[in-house]
């Protein structure tokens, strides 16, 4: 039985590159902690950019029972 593919992320931080899966986080301040402080970036919509399925995990975000290291467990990679 195949694992279901994860949906594409909806936002990316314009400073640290953190991804967001919930639409509520888009256009909000990033929650990632960078060097002991909260990132000052904004999660921007990335619907207009091209996303590619991670070839290692086939867009499932997992390799076996572990989170995929290539895509950080998201299943997708942003092609700039």
pLDDT band at 80 (very low <50, low <70, confident <90, very high): low
Residue 21: the pLDDT is 86
- Determine contact, residues 51/74, Cβ cutoff 8 Å: no
Whole-Å CA distances, 35 to 17, 23, 41, 46, 69 = 15, 26, 14, 25, 21
Residues 10-27 have a mean pLDDT of 89
Q: What is the pTM of this model?
A: 0.75
Question: What are the contacts of 17-20 at 24+ separation with CB within 8 A?
Answer: 18/43, 19/72, 19/74
62-80 mean pLDDT: 88
> What value does the mean pLDDT take over residues 45-56?
84
> Residue 18 CB: number of other CB atoms within 10 A?
19
């Amino acid at each position: 039985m195949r694992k279901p593919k994860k949906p594409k992320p909806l936002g990316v931080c314009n400073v640290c590159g953190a991804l967001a899966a919930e639409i509520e986080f888009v256009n909000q301040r990033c929650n990632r902690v960078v060097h002991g402080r909260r990132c000052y970036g904004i999660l921007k919509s990335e619907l207009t950019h091209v996303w590619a399925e991670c070839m290692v995990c086939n867009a499932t975000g997992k390799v076996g029972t572990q989170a995929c290291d290539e895509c950080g467990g998201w299943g997708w990679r942003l092609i700039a």
